[in-house]
Structure 1
Amino acid sequence: MTKKVTNDAVALIRSLAELRGRNADWGEKAVREAASLSAQAALDAHVIDFVTGDTASLLQAIDGRKVTTTSGVKSLATKGLPVETIEPGWLIRLLSVITDPNIAVILMLIGVYGLIFEFMSPGAVAPGVIGTLCLVLGLYALNLLPIDYTGLALMLLGLTFLTVEAFYPTVVLGAGGVAAFLLGAAMLFKVQAPGYRLSWIAVLIGTALISTLLLLSGRFLWRARSTPVRIGRRAMLGLPAEVLDWSGGAGHVLAEGERWNARSGDNFVAGERAEIAGIDGLVLTLRRKRELGPSLGEPP
């Protein structure tokens, strides 16, 4: 297939060169061997017709030149023509910024983590909206760029590993996520021309920021898991309760400023203080308050 495409390109360039009276042999060489020439060498090889310093000089040089068109031979009248420069509009300038490889990768990162923050804190709205917009713009930019989907898959896999690492710290997932992200960034674009080159500074800064953010998130989550529960049923276990009345293994107690139904295998009297051992619905299970052992230096 490559040979067929090359031969088609050679046939086209030769036909165009012969039609315009140019150097057809060099045209074929340019296709097959990617040959190039300097400006003066191209003029000597009859590849070009003029060498000028600016647009005004070019218009002066081609004035009166005969050219063949589909409607016959025409004479160019270009002497003294004004040169008009058409600047790209704001939309084209915006799209040119978005389709920069580094900006596209940054948009993808913001989009992915914006959605992650939205899922972690439903109802925040702003992370979800910003993340969705950035993700769509990043995918649009990648659609226009010559990317390698294996590199993109590795980058997304690395982000997934780093996200899981934030919730379940294992070190292995974090190291694997960083490695996958860096390898994916190296493989992301198929060509390494200046316009398609991914800045390693941007990649390393992005990786460092992501790793720092996830390490901090993992630290906060780990601290939250090790902190005693301060609300709900588990928070009441071990708290004191004052017996209001008691009869037949059940009664009422005052705990945390509220009146509760209570039961226990122990017998209590009104005014006695007990300890909450469990909660079953709206009924507390009591036990006698555990006494502290003797202080150091005191006989038992």
Structure 2
Amino acid sequence: MVRWLIYLLLLWPGALLAAGSVTVLTVDGPIGPATADYLTRGIAHAETDGSQLVVIRIDTPGGLDTSMRSIIKAILASPVPVASFVAPSGARAASAGTYILYASHIAAMAPGTNLGAATPVQIGGMPGQPERDKPTGDGKEKKPQEQAPDNAETLTRKQVNDAAAYIRGLAQLRGRNATWAERAVRESVSLAAEDAQRQKVVDLLAHDVPDLLAKLDGRVLEMGGRKLTLATQGAPLVERAPDWRAQILAVITNPSVALILMMIGVYGLIFEFSNPGSGVGGVIGGICLILALYALQLLPVNFAGIALILLGILFMAAEAFMPSFGIIGFGGIAAFVVGAVILIDTDVPGLGIPLALIVTVAVSSALFIFAIVAMALRARRRVLVSGDAGLVGSEATLLDLSPGDDRSGWVQLQGERWQVRSDTPLTRGQRIRVRARNGVLLDVTADDEPPKGV
């Protein structure tokens, strides 16, 4: 028996030490793919560790619908009860945070916090705002029911109805105020902590996590048809912070980082194709492009925005390889800016691309294009130093005379040996100047006096 106990301690020390503990997870910021991954894995770890309760400390302005639903699925399927706690004072559980609060087995708030405003929002305006009392061509006003809804209005209404039914179902599952939940979706209303408790939107108020655990001690929950009594008074806390995977995912799924990675990736591949065999551009560009595509498939992106960004980058790169004196380059800048502005198809706070970043990248690209155009103009004005234009007018020293002909000889020009001919006698070592080229023969004139003593 002792041997088996030692064996268990060696293999599963974390599980034995965490038995009866409380796992604490923290959400501080917009809810996105990284948050969903962190919370779903944290809930799974709590079950493996034998925790009796998971506390999700929330302070969020909202987030993506897909990420929110992934978290709610994990909460509903969890055999370990989940308590969502809006804290500390001054925090909020807006939009997606309200849904998570309703889905949890226990909903709690700290004084001075709020929740609500759960209406789904997309780019193009607030949903649920149909045009009313719009004048017609005859000067009369149409009643709302007489107005033919357009496709955008219909889509908005479908989104709002779906969200309202979803949160009402969660409220009925947990026995909370379903009427107010639906108002939070349809009317974007919010509640302070004290009002939320009074209207049975949340279960209790607590100042911090230890205070919450003290108030939950002895509470009986129904989990999968069985009764579960919490013993949280003085239970050990296991703070599970985001690990390296969640942190990396949070970085690359930031829309600004995804945009920069995509630019580096495309430019790296262009550099590799223009300089085959270098390797650096291909390796770095390939890695960055794959990471960018992975991040973008997790985010609500507008594919027209992606197409415009790629087209803009290709145009700017084309300007570097075949200068068109700015036409292609500035077209690329315009396409890039428009694409970056419309790339992220949501108004969720923290999930857009800052205009300052877009302008910075566009200005940097413009300066780069100006430098290329300036170099092209300077090269155009520069005197040619190769071909016939480079030969005519050049000077050289006569190396040898042709046998029996003192008006013909040989010189070295542009790395090649040329035969020359003059109208006047020439002397070996004499400086000559090229007047013209006739096939492989150069017409020259003597440029100085013959060297003395020759």
Gaps of 5+ in 1: 292-300
Name the CA distance, whole Å, in 1 between partners of 2:185 and 2:241: 33
Matches within 5 A, 1:83-232: 83-166=237-320, 167-230=322-385
Q: Residue 140 of structure 1 aligns to a residue in which SS?
A: helix
| Deviating more after overlay: 219-228 vs 267-276 | 267-276
- Residue 275 (structure 1) aligned with residue 434 (structure 2): yes
The residue type equivalent to 2:175 in the other structure is: G
Q: 1:233–1:279: 8 Å Cα contact kept in structure 2?
A: no
| Deviating more after overlay: 251-260 vs 86-95 | 251-260
Aligned residues, how many?
286
- Residue 24 (structure 1) aligned with residue 185 (structure 2): no
Q: Residue 73 of structure 1 aligns to a residue in which SS?
A: strand
- Structure number with higher helix proportion: 1
| Deviating more after overlay: 76-85 vs 106-115 | 106-115
The residue type equivalent to 1:275 in the other structure is: V
Q: CA 1:182–1:285 in 2, change beyond 3 Å: closer, same or farther?
A: same
The residue type equivalent to 1:227 in the other structure is: R
The residue type equivalent to 1:285 in the other structure is: L
Q: 2:436–2:444: 8 Å Cα contact kept in structure 1?
A: no
Name the CA distance, whole Å, in 1 between partners of 2:347 and 2:163: 24
Deviation string, structure 1 residues 55-110 (Cα, Å, up to 9, x no partner):
11111112212222224222222221122111222232122112212222222222
| Deviating more after overlay: 171-180 vs 267-276 | 267-276
Name the CA distance, whole Å, in 2 between partners of 1:194 and 1:32: 20
From 401, 423, 430, the counterpart of 1:244 = 401
Q: Residue 221 of structure 2 aligns to a residue in which SS?
A: strand
Q: CA 1:19–1:137 in 2, change beyond 3 Å: closer, same or farther?
A: closer
Name the CA distance, whole Å, in 1 between partners of 2:294 and 2:334: 26
Residue of structure 2 equivalent to 1:295? none
- Residue 289 (structure 1) aligned with residue 445 (structure 2): yes
Name the CA distance, whole Å, in 1 between partners of 2:414 and 2:256: 59
Q: 1:246–1:268: 8 Å Cα contact kept in structure 2?
A: no
Residue of structure 1 equivalent to 2:110? none
Deviation string, structure 1 residues 251-288 (Cα, Å, up to 9, x no partner):
75222398846487x877664857374486xxx22224
TM-score relative to the length of structure 2 = 0.54
Residue of structure 2 equivalent to 1:50? 204
Q: 2:411–2:419: 8 Å Cα contact kept in structure 1?
A: no
Residue of structure 1 equivalent to 2:236? 82
Q: CA 1:160–1:56 in 2, change beyond 3 Å: closer, same or farther?
A: same
Name the CA distance, whole Å, in 2 between partners of 1:180 and 1:14: 43
The residue type equivalent to 2:239 in the other structure is: T
Report the Cα offset of residue 237 of structure 1: 4.4
Q: 2:316–2:332: 8 Å Cα contact kept in structure 1?
A: yes
Q: 2:262–2:289: 8 Å Cα contact kept in structure 1?
A: yes
Q: Residue 253 of structure 1 aligns to a residue in which SS?
A: strand
Q: Residue 206 of structure 2 aligns to a residue in which SS?
A: coil
Q: 1:52–1:58: 8 Å Cα contact kept in structure 2?
A: yes
Name the CA distance, whole Å, in 1 between partners of 2:386 and 2:230: 87
Q: 2:420–2:443: 8 Å Cα contact kept in structure 1?
A: no
Q: 1:64–1:77: 8 Å Cα contact kept in structure 2?
A: yes
From 43, 64, 77, the counterpart of 2:218 = 64
Name the CA distance, whole Å, in 1 between partners of 2:291 and 2:283: 12
Q: CA 1:168–1:14 in 2, change beyond 3 Å: closer, same or farther?
A: closer
The residue type equivalent to 2:257 in the other structure is: I
Q: 1:66–1:73: 8 Å Cα contact kept in structure 2?
A: yes
Q: CA 1:15–1:185 in 2, change beyond 3 Å: closer, same or farther?
A: closer
The residue type equivalent to 2:442 in the other structure is: L
The residue type equivalent to 1:287 in the other structure is: D
Gaps of 5+ in 2: 1-153, 448-454
Report the Cα offset of residue 246 of structure 1: 6.4
Q: 1:245–1:269: 8 Å Cα contact kept in structure 2?
A: no
TM-score relative to the length of structure 1 = 0.77
Deviation string, structure 1 residues 231-261 (Cα, Å, up to 9, x no partner):
577644443563621689x975222398846
Name the CA distance, whole Å, in 2 between partners of 1:112 and 1:279: 49
Q: 1:104–1:141: 8 Å Cα contact kept in structure 2?
A: yes
From 246, 253, 266, the counterpart of 2:410 = 253
Q: 1:163–1:214: 8 Å Cα contact kept in structure 2?
A: no
Name the CA distance, whole Å, in 2 between partners of 1:274 and 1:18: 100
Higher relative contact order (CA 8 A, sep 6+): 2
